[in-house]
Structure 1
Amino acid sequence: MRKLVSLSILSVFVMSCASLKPNETTQAFAEEPIRYIDLTANSKKDLIERYWVVIKSEDPKYPVDAARRGLSGCVDFIVAIDSNGTLGGFKIKKSYPEGVFDKSAAAALNRWKWSASKDNIENTPVLTTTQLNFMVSNSKNKAETEKQCESTRLL
């Protein structure tokens, strides 16, 4: 008798699930894509100040292995600042030496915050660039680092 009751309940449950349309059990959200103003071109880099001001930045931690090896370098990012003044995402545009400082730089960048400038009353999201530099005294790769990381502009 127990098996029959259990089987009946299970059958009703399975049939009721099968009769539901997929959109009745889940709610789909049609989010609008974020429209960023692209300020990544060299000619537009100075325009960032019209939109966003850094209110919190954090220096990256120097990787122990790179310090031991006497390496200096940089990580150049394309950064998305969303309408809340938080990091909407990033892409590593270039790093030197490749891969050495990426994780440390990304971890620091993830903690940055921005405030809309007085001219940015609509909190317009933007794409911009920034570079985080890693310099150690008596660097073994100083000349190459200066060549590869010539842009020292920080957001």
Structure 2
Amino acid sequence: MKFLIIVLIPLLSACAATSSPSTDNTSAQLDYIDLTAELNKERLDNYWVSYKKVEPRFPLSAAKKGISGCVDLVIGINSEGKAQGYKVRSSYPKGVFDKSAAAAIAKWRWKAAEANPERKPVLTSYQLDFTVNTTRDREKYMAHCVKDKA
């Protein structure tokens, strides 16, 4: 019995000291294909096609004040076609719409494109716009949120 305990204790402590590969965020991040650069955005359709988009909820306090804005998020699309993690790249006005944008993106779903049978995860970016007809500061909204497509 003593022999069994002496053998099992080092084995159990060795197992407890090692981390599982699935919880190691650094190795998971290395597997993502980075499509966040403006010139790579068009390549997203080669990997993932959205089939479910949920509109973000407009914060009531912003609507009452006539505030329009936008949030530019970097998101990871995992191998299951779900958003996995996000980072706010920019937002205007800062912090007003961030939570609403992130909550909506978390509900989006993508299916793998035919060119992506391996279901490779990607990093991409989306800008979500929040506008009201009675925007008080339309010029500032336009300057921060409307990108010149020309």
TM-score with structure 1 length normalisation? 0.80
Matched, 1:146 2:142: yes
Structure with greater Cα Rg: 1
CA distance in structure 1 between the aligned counterparts of 2:147 and 2:111, rounded to whole angstroms: 24
The 3 A distance-change label for structure 1 pair 146 and 25 is closer
Residues paired across the two proteins, number: 137
- Unpaired runs of 5+ residues, structure 1, are 1-15
CA distance in structure 1 between the aligned counterparts of 2:74 and 2:16, rounded to whole angstroms: 39
State the one-letter code of the partner of 1:20.
I
Matched, 1:107 2:103: yes
CA distance in structure 2 between the aligned counterparts of 1:97 and 1:25, rounded to whole angstroms: 46
Identity of aligned residues (%): 39
CA distance in structure 2 between the aligned counterparts of 1:43 and 1:122, rounded to whole angstroms: 23
Three-state SS of the structure 1 residue aligned to 2:54 is: coil
Matches within 5 A, 1:77-116: 77-116=73-112
State the one-letter code of the partner of 1:103.
K
Matched, 1:29 2:25: no
Matched, 1:20 2:9: yes
- Unpaired runs of 5+ residues, structure 2, are none
Matches within 5 A, 1:42-57: 42-57=38-53
Q: Tell me if the contact between 1:131 and 1:152 (Cα under 8 Å) persists in the aligned partners.
A: no
The corresponding residue for 1:60 is 56
- 1:29 CA displacement: 2.1
The corresponding residue for 1:8 is none
- 1:144 CA displacement: 0.8
Runs of 4+ in structure 1 deviating by more than 4 angstroms, as ranges, are 24-28
Structure having the higher helix fraction is 2
Two-structure CA RMSD over aligned residues (Å): 2.3
CA deviations over 1:50-96 (Å, ceiling 9, x no partner): 11011111001000000010000000001100111011211000000
Matches within 5 A, 1:63-78: 63-78=59-74
CA distance in structure 2 between the aligned counterparts of 1:135 and 1:93, rounded to whole angstroms: 19
Q: Tell me if the contact between 1:133 and 1:152 (Cα under 8 Å) persists in the aligned partners.
A: no
Q: Tell me if the contact between 1:76 and 1:93 (Cα under 8 Å) persists in the aligned partners.
A: yes
State the one-letter code of the partner of 1:55.
Y
Larger mean CA deviation between 139-148 and 29-38 belongs to 29-38
CA distance in structure 1 between the aligned counterparts of 2:120 and 2:134, rounded to whole angstroms: 43
